[in-house]
Amino acid sequence: MYWDVVIVGGGGAALCAALSAAETGAKVLILSKTKLGLGNCTAVAGGNFTVGVGGFRPEKHQEKTRETGRWINDAQLVEILAAEGPTTLTALTRYDVKMDLTPGMISVAPYAARVITAGTAFTLPLVRAIQDNPNISIEERALVTEILIKDNKCHGVEYLDLKKGSVEQVRTKAAVVATGGFGQLYERTDNPVRTTGDGYALIYNLGLTLTDMEFVQFFPLGFADPNLPGWMIPLSLIDHVPLTNNQGYEFLRAKLPEWGLKSGAGAERYARD
C-alpha cells in the first residue's frame, strides 16, 4: 500500500506530526518501536511546559531560554519556540488535551493518572484522536532500519516487524523522523530504555548533517547508588530538605542567587541544564 506520509516514532512530536498531516487529507502511517504514546520521553516527562502565557511574555521566555542555554543556543529556533509555543500547545485542546495555564507555564500534569508518567496526559489524548482518525494507520513494534531513497527522493521506508520477526517495506513520498533522543548512551539517565538514537542513525546513514549532538537532556540530579533507580530527583527538593555535600554545605542552594533565582522550583525551570 502507498502512504502519503510515514511518521517514524511514537512520542509527542510524532503524534502531532501525524495529526497535522492527516488534517491536510494525507494518508498517514505511524511506525512506532514502542506502544504508541507510552515508551517515550514525552510520556515520562513532568507534563509542564514553560511558555509565554499568563503575564510571562514570549519575549521574556525567549530571553530566559537563551540565558539558560548560556547563549550558545540557536537564536532563530529559540525565537520560533517562544513566539509559537503558546498557540501551538493550546491548539491541542481540540484533541481533548486538558491543560492548566499559570504565569509562564502550561501544565497537563493535574490530569495524569500517575505523577511519574504525567506526560501521558499529553500523549494519550493524542493517541485516541489518532485512533479515531480514518486517515491514520498505526504499526507498533516496528523498528525502522532505513529510509529508502531513489533519485534523491524518498520513496519508501524499511522496518523490522518485531511482532513477526520479518523485514517489511512500505512505499511513501515523505517520511518524518521523530524518534526522540538517545539518553541510553549514558549509564545513568532518567530517559526511557527505548531512547537509543535510532532516528539519528537513519539520518546519519542518509548523509545528512546532525547538529548539537552533545546536548542530551535529562535531570542532572539523581541517585548515585547503582542499586537505586536512575529516575530523577526534582531540584525543588532543596526547598524542603537540605541537600549537602560531605562537608554539610548546601551547594545547590548557594548557587541560587548567582542564577538570579530564589527557589529550587525556579531552578527546575530555568537552570537545571
Residue pLDDT, tens place only, 148-173? 999 999 999 999 999 999 999 999 99
Q: Do 37 and 140 sit in the same domain of this protein?
A: yes
Closest C-alpha to 222, from 269, 174, 189: 189
> What does the block give as the cell for 14?
510524532
Average pLDDT taken over every residue of the chain: 91
State the burial class of residue 160 (Cβ atoms within 10 Å of its Cβ: 0-12, 13-18, 19+).
middle
Reported as a single tens digit per residue, the pLDDT across 167-209 is 999 999 999 999 988 988 888 788 888 889 999 999 999 999 9
Q: Do 198 and 229 sit in the same domain of this protein?
A: no
- 238 is a domain residue: yes
- DSSP structural state of residue 245: -
Q: Do 201 and 225 sit in the same domain of this protein?
A: no
Q: Which domain holds residue 223?
A: 219-273
What's the pLDDT at 232? Answer: 72
Q: Provide the percentage of residues in the chain whose pLDDT is more than 70.
A: 97
Q: Do 197 and 122 sit in the same domain of this protein?
A: yes
- 63 is a domain residue: no
Out of 157, 181, 205, pick the residue that ends a domain. Answer: 205
Q: Report pTM.
A: 0.86
Out of 205, 229, 245, pick the residue that ends a domain. Answer: 205
For the cut 60, the answer to whether the pLDDT of residue 18 exceeds it is: yes
Reported as a single tens digit per residue, the pLDDT across 224-258 is 777 877 667 778 888 999 989 889 999 989 988 98
Greatest CA span in the chain, whole angstroms? 65
CATH (domain of 22)? 3.50.50.60
What's the pLDDT at 231? Answer: 67
What's the pLDDT at 273? Answer: 52
Out of 146, 181, 205, pick the residue that ends a domain. Answer: 205
Q: Do 126 and 233 sit in the same domain of this protein?
A: no
Residues 45, 38: Cα–Cα separation, whole Å: 11
Q: Do 150 and 261 sit in the same domain of this protein?
A: no
263, 256 contact by CB (below 8 A): yes
Q: Do 127 and 225 sit in the same domain of this protein?
A: no
For the cut 70, the answer to whether the pLDDT of residue 85 exceeds it is: yes
- Total domains in the fold of the chain: 2
Model confidence band, residue 271 (pLDDT cutoffs 50, 70, 90): low
Residues 180, 215: Cα–Cα separation, whole Å: 13
